[in-house]
Structure 1
């Protein structure tokens, strides 16, 4: 009787949660975020997106530059990431390390990130301090010192970061090797942090040239979200950034990855306890209409512990310690649909690879049940909408969409997800998840030296 009552309470709580999610989702969906965005552009080409959110006296300011690892040339990989580090090392007005200290003294937080497609900087704090963020970001947009001693010191920091996060991490090293094999012509083959030999040889002249080329207002997007009035904030932005001169138009990336016409396979020997399997399929990005079906398919296959791959390989077949994947949708150029699994002790990489492939073949041969499809779509939609509760996430999504496509493309996400059918999933699986479009990377563990 007690067990039955516990089940009833659990079921009742689940029902209430579902009802609340539905009501909240409907309410959020009706309040289109993009309809409230104010778009402007200064005479020097700086793109500005402002979104008022008055739920709390908080504001976040993002400056994103249209430059990342895809803009780097062979021999100078890692420039974007190293320059991100140097943006905190001082200008003629702000000393080394003073940028972040100033933000913290004013009760805020700041950080930065580099990707294949962009480099972003942000500050979040009380809305009455927004002038400080504008002043500091405008200053380092064009007044960076790039002191040679600071550069050499920071290169050592980045090299150590690469050792810890990639070279001493077998799984990260395998993912890097897989990407380098999957792309032969496109710079997506280059790691964001750069190759170690390139980082060692980067010079101040490389950084200065890169900074002068890409850190100009006409290659940047400023996004502010929070408790402000747009008509009052825009003149402040113009005051701080307007005097910065427009730069020459940065060179475009012309490389196009040719169609892969046969499986690529590699093996990496590293000190590790267990084998690991990575596979990546070439797929289109968010600019292609199939992106919505691929997004839902990725969630069904690898969206957590209840997804097909984890449930099959970890729980049912007990072949893997963990398994997952994803879809590199938000990228400027077509990218990958990766899947991976860590091999269980006593099992083989071949068994795991066969099991991963079997899950893909199952999607190709049998339609996804309506209930499973609707569950995935509901969870994707709820995650997308709940993410809008944070001013930081709102700013990040607006900036990312603007960089990789156009910020208005955000509007198409939910309608596109809702329109996906089981037939769409089967079609894109057959079209893209084929052996000829696949690169497989297998970690072969070597005995750990003591």
Structure 2
């Protein structure tokens, strides 16, 4: 144990910030940006294609389309039909997957560095030559429908489905959950899918990230070769007249729960990354609510035993201001009003006094340690570069959250607590058993 502690001390003595591996970028003539991080080590690499599209781009009638496309993109292209895409990745020992959020859809592969050129060829073909037929759509629609039904069979996942319609005003980009509505999904046509694909899966609405034991010149050449000829372009228009979550109210605050637990779901407006308050709100949420040794975790869970646990159920990063949800789990009881009182007391205390310095120092130290350790994974590096490029339009801001947190003062915490966590702004959804 002493040797392990000594090793960790040596690591942090060498530098608490993540090692900055050489990182390069280039933008092709069609608008596709390519970011390459040359990370030495094992002979593998992470390849990611980030599309700046998600459920935010859907309209009534095609709710769930972005997530549907996450599935459709694995079904073959004109040049690599059927299962050939998957077979080629399997043949080199690679693995691939994808995910969809409100803001983005990301396709990623982890494979031998020598196969990066092949992965880029496959991704470029998926960008421009995807095959979409009614037969393929019908098959994937069944898969997505089953995924949605399985989610409803999980009691906690169902709580999100049940309360989600309460969160946002009409017209907000996040007003419908990412997976969409089953009645709309079952009505999708192949033409609707192709319209979505031809619009949002454009090179000027995407970027490529490659991290691993690669050379940037070779990656740039491959991207120029395979992605360069892709000509389709999305007409980039910023969304206008987005409803303000800072002034709107929840559509309801009571949800029946088919499980023997009660949840107070604290909903409050959360700023987008371009706000000066973004990092302060994130840090305060962690130190006050969700960290293992947070103020309320220590008081409610470890000391008073009045709650089972506390957890965040919303994303920190969102292109538009969203509603953050913090769930407090308790045994169902009329006496749970004391939990509300305790939470309000701690929020008011931070608004008046700020955060204890030792908790600030501990949070920043944890961020630095997490950053340092994650720097050894090509997947983590690519993910951080992607987040920075997507939300700040600058991949060079990756690996720097700890630096942002160090800039926050206790006056900032007081102001943020009084603004975002005030009794006027924070609302509580009461999820309790129906029996």
In structure 2, list runs of 5 or more residues that go unmatched.
none
* Equivalent position to 2:263, from 271, 276, 287: 276
* Paired residues of 2:97 and 2:109 also in contact (CA < 8 A): yes
Q: Which residue of 2 aligns with 1:334?
A: 321
- 2:421 is equivalent to residue 433 of structure 1: yes
SS of the aligned residue for 1:392 comes to helix
**Structure 1 pair 360/168, CA: closer, same or farther in 2 (3 Å)?**
farther
Q: Which residue of 1 aligns with 2:117?
A: 131
* Alpha-carbon distance in structure 2 between the residues aligned to 1:13 and 1:345: 47
Query: What's the CA shift for 1:122?
Result: 0.9
Q: How does 1:71-110 map to 2 (within 5 A)?
A: 71-110=57-96
SS of the aligned residue for 2:90 comes to helix
* Paired residues of 1:313 and 1:323 also in contact (CA < 8 A): no
**Which deviates further from its counterpart, 124-133 or 401-410?**
401-410
Alpha-carbon displacement from aligned partner over 1:315-344 (angstroms, at most 9, x marks no partner): 212122221227743221122332111112
* Equivalent position to 2:398, from 410, 414, 419: 410
* Alpha-carbon distance in structure 2 between the residues aligned to 1:318 and 1:332: 37
- 2:351 is equivalent to residue 364 of structure 1: yes
SS of the aligned residue for 1:340 comes to strand
* Alpha-carbon distance in structure 1 between the residues aligned to 2:38 and 2:262: 49
**Structure 1 pair 441/303, CA: closer, same or farther in 2 (3 Å)?**
closer
Q: Which residue of 2 aligns with 1:320?
A: 307
Q: Which residue of 2 aligns with 1:379?
A: 366
* Alpha-carbon distance in structure 2 between the residues aligned to 1:402 and 1:188: 21
* Alpha-carbon distance in structure 2 between the residues aligned to 1:66 and 1:262: 26
Q: Which residue of 2 aligns with 1:4?
A: none
* Alpha-carbon distance in structure 1 between the residues aligned to 2:426 and 2:354: 22
* Paired residues of 1:260 and 1:436 also in contact (CA < 8 A): no
Q: Which residue of 2 aligns with 1:114?
A: 100
* Equivalent position to 2:156, from 168, 171, 177: 171
Query: What's the CA shift for 1:281?
Result: 0.7
* Equivalent position to 1:388, from 371, 375, 383: 375
Q: How does 1:232-381 map to 2 (within 5 A)?
A: 232-261=218-247, 264=250, 265-325=252-312, 328-344=315-331, 346=333, 350-381=337-368
* Alpha-carbon distance in structure 1 between the residues aligned to 2:121 and 2:88: 12
Alpha-carbon displacement from aligned partner over 1:239-273 (angstroms, at most 9, x marks no partner): 11111113242544324232544753421224222
Alpha-carbon displacement from aligned partner over 1:131-176 (angstroms, at most 9, x marks no partner): 21011111111111112112112111111111222x2333333334
Scaled by the length of structure 1, the TM-score of the pair is 0.89
* Alpha-carbon distance in structure 2 between the residues aligned to 1:345 and 1:331: 33
* Alpha-carbon distance in structure 2 between the residues aligned to 1:95 and 1:126: 23
* Alpha-carbon distance in structure 2 between the residues aligned to 1:262 and 1:255: 14
* Alpha-carbon distance in structure 1 between the residues aligned to 2:119 and 2:382: 15
**Structure 1 pair 434/198, CA: closer, same or farther in 2 (3 Å)?**
farther
- 2:181 is equivalent to residue 181 of structure 1: no
**Structure 1 pair 56/68, CA: closer, same or farther in 2 (3 Å)?**
same
Query: What's the CA shift for 1:346?
Result: 4.9
Alpha-carbon displacement from aligned partner over 1:99-127 (angstroms, at most 9, x marks no partner): 23321221111000001111000111111
Query: What's the CA shift for 1:419?
Result: 1.9
* Paired residues of 1:39 and 1:50 also in contact (CA < 8 A): yes
In structure 1, list runs of 5 or more residues that go unmatched.
1-9
* Alpha-carbon distance in structure 1 between the residues aligned to 2:63 and 2:414: 38
**Structure 1 pair 339/148, CA: closer, same or farther in 2 (3 Å)?**
same
Q: Which residue of 1 aligns with 2:51?
A: 65
* Alpha-carbon distance in structure 2 between the residues aligned to 1:157 and 1:78: 13
**Which deviates further from its counterpart, 109-118 or 155-164?**
155-164
* Paired residues of 1:298 and 1:326 also in contact (CA < 8 A): no
* Paired residues of 1:262 and 1:435 also in contact (CA < 8 A): no
- 2:192 is equivalent to residue 206 of structure 1: yes
Q: Which residue of 2 aligns with 1:446?
A: 434
SS of the aligned residue for 1:287 comes to coil
- Paired residues in the alignment total 432
* Alpha-carbon distance in structure 1 between the residues aligned to 2:340 and 2:7: 37
